[in-house]
Homo-oligomer: A and B are copies of this chain.
Amino acid sequence: MIQRQIVLQPIGIIHTDFTTKENIPRQGRLGTNNNGWVEINPEFVEGLDRLTEYSHIFLIFDFNQSEGFNLTQITPNHHQQKGVFATRSPYRPNPIGLTIVSLERIEGNKIYFSGADMLDGTPLLDIKPYSPELDVYTEAKGNGNSHFRN
């Protein structure tokens, strides 16, 4: 039906302490001492200018260790069947990950952050600033048990 293919290239690599899926916190916010750092390809470093004006950033990355997907999945904590788009599972039609992390500092082409929940070596696709004006919805409702990764 839709023919267009979108081809992306990593802009850097995310480094964390997590070398297997089993020891990753289900979400970065729920972990402790889960710091990480991003190594930005040198050609893109200029794009980080003034990023440190933000305390939090979105990391958009490639779930490159996730092969295939299931349209419905059982959530790990509450064993509830959900559509994949109602979960943060890495096994998705387009294996794109999204995590909000706390920006600690930038040194050259290295971005240090806390709140890591991705495997060491994960390809980074994009960084966007998290804006309190745009991205905070305190009125949001959601099933608190269903957003965890499988």
Q: Which residues of A contact B (CB under 8 A)?
A: 1-2, 4-13, 27, 29, 41, 44, 46-51, 53-58, 60, 62, 64, 71-72, 80-88, 92-94, 96, 98, 100, 123, 125-144, 146-147
Chain B residues lying within 8 Å of A146, measured Cβ to Cβ, are 50, 53, 129
- A4 contacts B64, CB within 8 Å? yes
Bound CA span A58–B137, Å: 12
Chain B residues lying within 8 Å of A127, measured Cβ to Cβ, are 85
Chain B nearest Cβ from A88, distance in angstroms: 6
- A49 contacts B134, CB within 8 Å? no
Chain B residues lying within 8 Å of A41, measured Cβ to Cβ, are 1-2
Bound CA span A42–B48, Å: 39
- A46 contacts B71, CB within 8 Å? yes
- A137 contacts B100, CB within 8 Å? yes
Which 4 residue pairs spanning A and B have beta carbons closest together? A49-B83, A85-B127, A46-B71, A55-B141
- B6 contacts A8, CB within 8 Å? yes
- A93 contacts B126, CB within 8 Å? yes
**Option from B48, B82, B139 in Cβ contact (under 8 Å) with A50:** B82
Chain B residues lying within 8 Å of A54, measured Cβ to Cβ, are 86, 140-143
Chain B nearest Cβ from A139, distance in angstroms: 7
Chain B nearest Cβ from A4, distance in angstroms: 6
Bound CA span A48–B85, Å: 6
Chain B residues lying within 8 Å of A27, measured Cβ to Cβ, are 134
